[in-house]
Each structure stands twice: as structure tokens, then as C-alpha cells.
């Protein structure tokens, strides 16, 4: 279905062509929703931008556009305000008719895009044998939501987990594995290596202390590079163990990801370096192969190098990302590649993208974009830690959110003097707790740091998951109480909008599509959260003013449809954030 802004944009373009000629066919009418009712519902600012090229006063231009506008079927007569803004006020009949279409549409008015892209979302991407920390959690939550929105819009999305599963640290880990758990190498499944983070720490201790150990570790690196059987086996054991831990988190959070770690690109690295050489980008500097970067200077004001091959012949993080970029474009056929990591990696990606461009690896038709996010902080504004000062394990963090959600719900049951089954209480606790963690993250502008607070994220008031889930249940409950099975009647019932709060709600319901398109473009899921939050507020204003169940039959049916549409919109919106709902509470 065309959205209201698309319909208006099309009308404005026709008027521009009729008034000023065919060359204005593609002119952007600069249409946007207004937030002040006195300016109507939408405003077009194109007249101001045309003043120069047309050499006319903006108000005069606006008048000519208005003269040629044919919008009777959707808006009242457009008016001109201020220096030349064109204002549209949608008619109640048009809004009702749009909602009618919306509620019969299986995807709430949103058609799949006609030109689907192949989009890679590179997210989560923890490192083997290291802890998956809150930064990875942010990447996981944000990346998943971006992927969900793009998938829903009809794009072909490849969700890639670029795990750190290769590098010199494996020499140390494998040496330690041989030393500490030799039985693991004989029968892998018989051994549980326990907490790999502790394992890593112990291995590091040995490495730092003992020269013979370091030597053994260096040999293991060489053997790993050479693909020696025993060493590869040890490497696989370590990766499998980590993977099992990561998968538990993904399963809990309902995250789908395809693992394609750094090791995947390892065989491609020599050719990648060779290609850079052929493009004459390589310079040898103290034995290392480098590309000198444009626009990145060191303190002395000299151009900074990006090392792609170390003097010992080894490769690094950037080399792998260059090879990955090439593979994703040439083999996966990606049109757009999205990297979700903390803002601390902004330079890394800017440098990798620059070198890739200079090596002509990125065609003009392909968009590569780093989606940065801020730090997760404790309530004291410092790095998130446990009370005893240790880093928080993700498992524990999720457990605690669920536990607290359960306590909140039990408290509510006690006050209402209600009994519920253990299974139901568990379900509510999961949905609320995990939803709260996700929503708290997604509702922030991702570029800012975000303060992790269980109390805030689980609050029933404010822009939180519990608030949205309660809103959903309440709205859904009204339709249920209405005792009308809307699914069979959708095409027969008609919507009539009279009260101002109904009109406001209707307009907002009709903006879901524009909101999702914006999210797909600027990759800011907080806009969807904001949309949902405003939706529930507008719904509340409507529900305060307009009786639903006690209204006379035709009005009742129309209002029940508004309730139903609101509930469906919240449910769909939350699902695109990776958050599920319950049907009652």
C-alpha cells in the first residue's frame, strides 16, 4: 500500500510538472509530517528550495503549486503558510478509507520492496575463548533488529557472525590445552573445558611467565597456519566449546546468525595482499607491508600506515576485513554491507573502507556502512561491573533481568490476589525480562553511551518493554471483550472517525511504513521504539476520551477496529525489535 506521504509526494510532483514543466518530475517536494496541528498534518517545503532556480518568490511558487494540486480526495484545500510552506490537512474520510485498507492488509499496509537488495549484516561477532561481553550484546541486539526490519521489508539478508576464531592467541591456547587437558585431544566430547574465559586467563598467565611455553605456543601458531592435523583438532575443540556457549545466548535471545569467522577468510589473505600490490598501494615499512592512509595522520603529522602484513609474514584484523569485504561483494553478491560494532572501531572501518575503495573492491553500486554504538555503562557512569568489581557475564545479566521481571510479576499477582501456573509465570518473566534488556538498548539513540539499569528497563511506566507489552495486552483485551471476531468481519465493518483523538491515532497508525523505511535507511531502531511509544500514548488519549464497548453498535465496531489495529501494530513493531508479547497478564 502506498503510504500517505507517498501519495502526497506523488501529487506534489504532478503539480510541479503541471506548473513548471516536465523537468520537475523528480523534484523532491520535501514533504514531512508536522507536529503542530495549526500547520495541518503534512507540510511541503519545496517552494523555498525552488526560489533560486525559478527566480521567483517562494510564496508565489507555492501558490502556483497549490493551483495545480489535485488532492481533494485526501486533504482539505492546501494552504500556504509563512514564507511559502504548503500545508495539508487530511480529511477524516480519507483517513478512514486508508485505515480500512490497512486493516485488511496482512502486513499492515507494508508491501515488500519491489527491488530487494542482498544485504549483509555483520553483527554480534564475539571472540573465541574470550568472553562475550556487553558490547557484543549491544551488537547482537541492534544487529538483529536491523536485520529483522530489512527482512520484513523484503530484502535478502545474510546475518553473519564474524567471530574472532583465528590469530596468534591460538598458539597459546592450544599449548595450554595440551598441557592442562591432554584427554581433550584424545576424546573431545568427553571433556568440558569449563569456563573458557578462565581458561584463557590461565593460558595467558603461563604464556607470560614461561619462555619454554612461549616457544611451544609459537610453534603451534606455525602448525596451525600449516594446517597440521593435531593442532587443527585442538583449535576445533576450542572453537566448539565457545560456540556452544555463544549459542546458548543466541537461543535465549532468539537470534539467528550464520557463523563465518575470521578463519574462513584466512586462505584468501595472500591473494588480497597480492592484489593491493598490483594496485600499487603497498609500501614496505620496517619489513611490514602497509598502505599509507589518506586523511589519517600520526602525531608528527605524517600519513599513518595500515599494516596488512606484518614483518613476520602474519596478517591481522584489517587484512581479514579487507578479504571479507572482497568476498562479500564478489562471492556473496552483496549490495549493502552493514557492520554493527562499538564506536571504538570507527577508525578501523574507515581505514578498511578507504583501502578497499582505493583497491577498487567496492563498486559504486555497493554501500558499505559502519553502524557504531556507544558504551554500556553501570549506573555510576563507569564500565558495567558486578558489585565485587568483576566483568558481568552475559548469562548472569540475562538471568537477573528475568529474575527481577518474575519478582515484579509475582508482586503484582499478590496485590491482585491472583494465582497463576508456574509455566505462565515463567513465560511472563522471560518475555518481560529479555524484552526489557533488548528494548532498553534499542530505544536509545545507539550512538550515545547507555546506562544499564534494571530498575529503569523494567519500569511499567515510560518508554520500556514492560510498558509496551502491558499496552499491547490492554488494547488486545478490549478487542477481546468486544466479543466480535474481527478476523471474519474486517471487510464489512466500516471505520468512522469523529473525535480529534481518533484522527490523531489514525494518522499515527498510518505512519508505520514511513517509520520502517527510515529505520531501514538510517539504521536507527530507536525511531521504531519512539513510534511505538507515541502510538500507545495516542491510543491512551483516544481511550480516555472515546467509550468503546459502551458505544452504539456502528461506533463500537469502528472503535474496536482502531483497538485491533493498534494492537497488531504494537505486536508487529515489537517483533521487529526482536521482542515477543504475551496475550494476557
- Between 117 and 125, whose beta carbon lies closer to ligand ARG? 125
Pairing of strands 156-161, 367-373: unpaired
SS3 content of the chain, % helix, strand, coil (to 5): 55, 10, 30
Site string for ligand ARG, 307-346 (x = CB under 6 A): --------------x--x--------------x-x-----
- Between 352 and 529, whose beta carbon lies closer to ligand ARG? 352
- Between 75 and 125, whose beta carbon lies closer to ligand ARG? 125
Could you tell me how many residues of this chain bind ligand ARG (CB under 6 A)?
A: 10
- Closest approach of ligand ARG to the CB of residue 323, in Å: 10
Binding of ligand ARG at residue 220 (CB under 6 A)?
no
Pairing of strands 118-122, 336-342: parallel
User: Which residue from 125, 241, 558, 569 is in contact with ligand ARG, where contact means CB under 6 A?
Assistant: 125
- Between 40 and 135, whose beta carbon lies closer to ligand ARG? 135
- Closest approach of ligand ARG to the CB of residue 511, in Å: 33
Which of 514, 496, 536, 445 is CA-nearest to residue 41?
Answer: 514
- Between 122 and 502, whose beta carbon lies closer to ligand ARG? 122
CA 428 to CA 582: how far, in whole Å? 7
Positions 34 through 93 that interact with ligand ARG (CB under 6 A): none
- Between 87 and 125, whose beta carbon lies closer to ligand ARG? 125
Site string for ligand ARG, 156-175 (x = CB under 6 A): ------x-x-----------
- Closest approach of ligand ARG to the CB of residue 533, in Å: 30
Looking at 125-133, 251-259, 401-409, 493-501, which segment touches ligand ARG (CB under 6 A)? Answer: 125-133
Please give the grid coordinates belonging to residue 178: 595440551
Please give the grid coordinates belonging to residue 318: 584489517
- Between 291 and 337, whose beta carbon lies closer to ligand ARG? 337
- Closest approach of ligand ARG to the CB of residue 123, in Å: 8
* 367 within 8 A of 336, measured Cβ to Cβ: yes
- Closest approach of ligand ARG to the CB of residue 259, in Å: 12
CA 30 to CA 9: how far, in whole Å? 8
Please give the grid coordinates belonging to residue 374: 556507544
- What's 190's DSSP letter? G
User: In whole angstroms, how far apart are CA 332 and each of 235, 250, 269, 322, 408?
Assistant: 27, 24, 17, 14, 47
- Between 135 and 578, whose beta carbon lies closer to ligand ARG? 135
- Closest approach of ligand ARG to the CB of residue 136, in Å: 6
Binding of ligand ARG at residue 441 (CB under 6 A)?
no
CA 511 to CA 534: how far, in whole Å? 11
- Closest approach of ligand ARG to the CB of residue 341, in Å: 5
- ∠ CA(99), CA(100), CA(105), 5° rounding? 90
Q: Per DSSP, what are the bridge partners of residue 492?
A: none
- Between 65 and 397, whose beta carbon lies closer to ligand ARG? 397
- Between 89 and 136, whose beta carbon lies closer to ligand ARG? 136
* 545 within 8 A of 501, measured Cβ to Cβ: yes
Three-class secondary structure of residue 93 per DSSP:
helix
Positions 526 through 565 that interact with ligand ARG (CB under 6 A): none
- Closest approach of ligand ARG to the CB of residue 339, in Å: 5
- What's 267's DSSP letter? G
Residue nearest to ligand ARG (CB): 125
* 582 within 8 A of 427, measured Cβ to Cβ: yes
Neighbours of 132 (CB within 10 A): 23
Binding of ligand ARG at residue 127 (CB under 6 A)?
yes
- Between 58 and 164, whose beta carbon lies closer to ligand ARG? 164
Which of 26, 31, 35 is CA-nearest to residue 47?
Answer: 31
Positions 84 through 123 that interact with ligand ARG (CB under 6 A): 122
- Closest approach of ligand ARG to the CB of residue 335, in Å: 17
- Closest approach of ligand ARG to the CB of residue 127, in Å: 5
Cα 388 to chain center, whole Å? 32
CA 48 to CA 265: how far, in whole Å? 52
- Closest approach of ligand ARG to the CB of residue 217, in Å: 21
- What's 127's DSSP letter? B
* 352 within 8 A of 272, measured Cβ to Cβ: no
Binding site for ligand ARG (CB under 6 A): 122, 125-127, 162, 164, 321, 324, 339, 341
Amino acid at each position: 500500500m502506498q503510504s500517505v506521504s507517498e501519495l502526497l509526494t506523488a501529487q506534489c510532483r504532478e503539480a510541479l510538472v503541471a506548473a513548471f514543466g516536465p523537468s520537475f518530475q523528480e523534484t523532491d517536494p520535501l514533504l514531512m509530517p508536522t507536529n503542530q496541528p495549526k500547520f495541518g498534518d503534512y507540510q511541503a517545503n519545496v517552494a523555498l528550495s525552488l526560489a533560486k532556480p525559478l527566480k521567483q518568490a517562494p510564496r508565489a511558487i507555492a501558490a502556483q503549486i497549490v493551483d495545480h494540486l489535485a488532492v481533494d480526495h485526501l486533504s482539505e484545500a492546501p494552504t500556504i503558510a509563512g514564507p511559502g510552506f504548503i500545508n495539508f490537512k487530511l480529511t477524516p474520510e480519507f483517513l478512514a478509507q486508508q485505515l480500512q485498507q490497512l486493516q485488511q492488509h496482512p502486513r499492515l499496509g507494508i508491501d515488500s520492496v519491489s527491488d530487494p537488495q542482498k544485504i549483509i549484516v555483520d553483527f554480534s561477532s564475539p571472540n573465541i575463548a574470550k568472553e562475550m561481553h556487553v558490547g557484543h550484546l549491544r551488537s547482537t541486539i541492534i544487529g538483529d533488529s536491523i536485520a529483522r526490519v530489512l527482512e520484513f521489508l523484503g530484502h535478502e539478508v545474510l546475518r553473519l557472525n564474524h567471530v574472532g576464531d583465528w590469530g596468534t592467541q591460538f598458539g597459546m591456547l592450544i599449548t595450554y590445552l595440551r598441557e592442562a587437558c591432554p584427554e581433550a585431544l584424545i576424546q573431545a566430547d568427553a571433556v568440558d573445558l569449563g569456563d573458557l574465559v578462565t581458561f584463557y586467563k590461565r593460558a595467558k598467565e603461563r604464556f607470560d611467565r614461561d619462555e619454554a611455553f612461549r616457544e611451544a605456543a609459537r610453534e603451534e601458531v606455525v602448525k596451525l597456519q600449516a594446517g597440521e592435523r593435531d593442532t587443527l583438532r585442538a583449535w576445533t575443540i576450542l572453537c566448539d566449546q565457545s560456540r556452544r556457549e555463544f549459542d546458548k545466548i543466541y537461543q535465549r535471545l532468539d537470534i539467528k546468525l550464520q557463523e563465518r569467522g575470521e578463519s574462513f577468510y584466512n586462505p584468501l589473505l595472500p591473494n588480497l595482499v597480492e592484489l593491493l600490490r598490483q594496485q600499487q598501494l603497498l609500501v614496505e615499512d620496517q619489513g611490514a607491508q602497509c598502505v599509507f592512509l589518506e586523511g589519517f595522520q600520526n602525531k608528527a603529522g605524517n600519513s599513518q600506515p595500515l599494516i596488512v602484513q606484518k614483518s613476520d609474514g602474519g596478517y591481522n584484523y584489517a587484512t581479514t576485513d579487507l578479504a571479507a569485504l572482497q568476498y562479500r561483494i564478489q562471492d556473496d553478491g552483496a549490495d549493502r554491507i552493514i557492520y554493527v560494532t562499538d564506536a571504538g572501531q570507527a577508525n578501523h572501518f574507515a581505514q578498511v573502507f578507504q583501502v578497499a575503495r582505493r583497491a577498487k573492491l567496492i563498486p559504486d553500486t555497493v554501500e558499505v556502512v559502519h553502524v557504531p554504538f556507544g558504551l554500556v555503562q553501570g549506573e555510576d557512569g563507569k564500565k558495567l561491573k558486578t558489585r565485587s568489581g568483576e566483568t558481568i557475564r552475559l548469562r548472569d545479566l540475562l538471568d537477573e533481568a528475568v529474575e527481577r521481571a518474575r519478582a515484579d510479576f509475582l508482586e503484582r499477582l499478590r496485590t491482585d490476589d491472583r494465582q497463576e501456573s508456574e509455566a505462565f509465570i515463567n513465560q511472563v518473566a522471560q518475555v518481560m525480562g529479555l524484552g526489557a534488556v533488548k528494548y532498553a538498548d534499542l530505544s536509545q539513540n545507539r550512538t550515545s553511551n547507555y546506562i544499564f539499569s534494571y530498575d529503569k528497563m523494567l519500569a511499567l511506566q515510560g518508554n520500556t518493554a514492560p510498558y509496551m507489552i502491558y499496552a499491547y495486552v490492554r488494547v488486545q483485551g478490549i478487542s477481546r471483550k468486544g466479543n466480535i471476531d474481527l478476523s471474519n468481519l474486517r471487510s464489512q465493518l466500516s471505520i468512522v472517525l469523529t473525535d480529534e483523538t481518533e484522527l490523531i491515532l489514525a494518522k499515527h497508525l498510518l505512519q508505520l511504513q514511513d517509520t520502517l523505511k527510515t529505520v531501514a535507511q538510517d539504521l536507527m531502531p530507536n525511531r521504531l521504539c519512539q513510534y511505538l511509544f507515541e502510538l500507545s500514548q495516542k491510543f491512551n488519549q483516544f481511550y480516555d476520551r472515546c467509550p468503546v464497548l459502551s458505544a452504539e453498535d456502528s461506533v463500537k465496531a469502528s472503535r474496536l477496529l482502531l483497538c485491533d489495529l493498534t494492537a497488531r501494530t504494537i505486536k508487529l513493531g515489537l517483533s521487529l525489535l526482536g521482542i515477543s508479547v504475551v496475550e494476557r497478564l
